């Protein structure tokens, strides 16, 4: 069976767990209960032991699930948080002549956003009005508001910034065209395509594919299966993934939600899973998998949390898994 056949299911979607954790308080902690240890024993004789009762991590939320993974079944577990942020894109102005005033410009943006359960691509136009005292960014904001799109534009003589009005609101502006006018609002020269300053880009969430503080996953295999076949595949998924695409090394955002076609900026779930399988990039786990990290510092770009993950049963038999996530 070809690798691609494993992942291209009929619904074109992959199962995700919801972000609906059990809410706790500051007094809740994740811990191995007192006098719980791991070690090596021979009969009644303990040869080696490690005490785990002193491992304690403060948590505010948790989830616990049990699931039977059928043969060739894969699920995605996105964790308990995405740490939402205000999506931001910045485009630099070129040197315009004869006037750099924001009251003598027009702007057209190509905008991709999600509306009514589907992705939409539209062009939005704003033109300044020096008579009414409306600058080009104000004109664009009026156009965006009339379409009920939650984005605001703010321009200076150096750049224009687009920001989501609410945390978690996602959009992608793929083109910005600027046009200069004279004082009579007659176009001067050619229009210009602005370049995005990607170093100032902020995604709609710090962890767009979800994350968690910690994870404990236990697998139970059929007794009649060989010991050498008692393993599963697991892959943690970061925001972006770097790989070779047609001999070109690229970095793209990972879309864990479907197996739709990859784009110039996004690798879809089907292509991502196929790539890590062909290139043997899965992590193998056996009976127990545990990963406990630490919290992110406020306003820090560093990511400490455990990313969401795929778990895949590549065998011809079912495997029962039970996992607990904490945050």
Residue 91 C-beta-side C-alpha neighbours within 13 Å: 24
Pick the closest to residue 96 from 162, 155, 157 (CA basis): 157
Per-residue model confidence (pLDDT) at position 104: 80
What average pLDDT does the chain have?
Answer: 85
Answer whether residue 49 is part of any domain: no
- For the stretch 187-227, pLDDT in tens is 887 788 999 998 999 999 999 999 999 999 999 999 999 99
The DSSP bridge partners found for residue 134 are 129
**96 pLDDT higher than 50:** no
In this structure, are 111 and 76 located in the same domain? no
Task: Mark whether 127 and 155 lie in a shared domain.
Answer: yes
pLDDT of residue 158: 84
Q: Are residues 185 and 214 in the same domain?
A: no
Looking at the structure, do residues 164 and 235 belong to the same domain, yes or no? no
Range of the domain at 8: 3-24+59-83+206-326
Pairing, β 74-77 against β 187-193: unpaired
The DSSP-derived string for 171-213 is: EEEEEEEEEEE-TT--EEEEEEEPEE-GGG-B-SBSSTT-EES
pLDDT tens-digit readout, 236-283 = 999 999 999 888 999 999 999 766 788 888 899 999 999 999 999 999
Q: What pLDDT digit, counting tens, does each position of 164-188 carry?
A: 999 999 999 999 998 888 877 788 8
- Residue 32 is assigned to a structural domain of this protein: no
% of the chain at pLDDT higher than 90 = 58
Same domain, 147 and 98: yes
Give the global pTM: 0.78
Number of domains forming the structure of the chain:
2
Whether residue 40 is contained in a domain is answered as: no
- 94 and 78 co-located in one domain: no
pLDDT of residue 43: 81
């Amino acid at each position: 069976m070809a690798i691609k056949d494993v992942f291209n299911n009929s619904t074109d979607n992959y199962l995700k767990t919801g972000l609906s954790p059990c809410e706790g308080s500051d007094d809740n902690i994740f811990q191995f209960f007192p006098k719980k240890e791991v070690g090596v024993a021979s009969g009644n004789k303990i040869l080696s032991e490690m005490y785990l009762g002193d491992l304690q991590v403060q948590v505010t939320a948790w989830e616990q699930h049990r699931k039977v993974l059928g043969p060739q079944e894969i699920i995605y577990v996105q964790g308990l948080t995405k740490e939402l942020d205000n999506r931001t894109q910045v485009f630099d102005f070129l040197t315009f002549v004869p006037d750099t005033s924001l009251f003598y410009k027009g702007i057209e943006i190509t905008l991709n956003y999600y509306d009514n359960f589907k992705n939409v691509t539209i062009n939005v136009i704003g033109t300044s009005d020096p008579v009414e005292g409306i600058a080009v960014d104000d004109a664009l904001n009026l156009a965006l508001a009339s379409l009920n799109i939650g984005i605001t534009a703010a321009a200076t003589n150096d750049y224009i910034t687009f920001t989501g009005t609410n945390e978690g609101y996602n959009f992608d502006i793929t083109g910005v065209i600027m046009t200069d006018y004279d004082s009579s609002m007659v176009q001067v020269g050619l229009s210009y395509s602005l370049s995005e300053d990607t170093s100032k880009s902020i995604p709609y969430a710090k962890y767009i594919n979800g994350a968690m503080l910690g994870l404990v996953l236990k697998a139970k295999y059929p007794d009649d299966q060989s010991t050498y076949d008692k393993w599963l595949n697991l892959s943690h998924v970061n925001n972006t993934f770097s790989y070779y695409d047609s001999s070109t090394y690229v970095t793209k955002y990972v879309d864990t939600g479907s197996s739709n076609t990859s784009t110039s900026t996004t690798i879809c779930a089907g292509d991502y899973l196929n790539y890590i399988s062909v290139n043997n990039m899965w992590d193998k786990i056996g009976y127990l998998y545990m990963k406990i990290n630490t919290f992110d510092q406020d306003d820090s770009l560093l990511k400490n949390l455990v990313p969401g993950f795929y778990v895949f049963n590549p065998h011809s038999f079912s495997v029962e898994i039970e996992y607990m996530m904490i945050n």
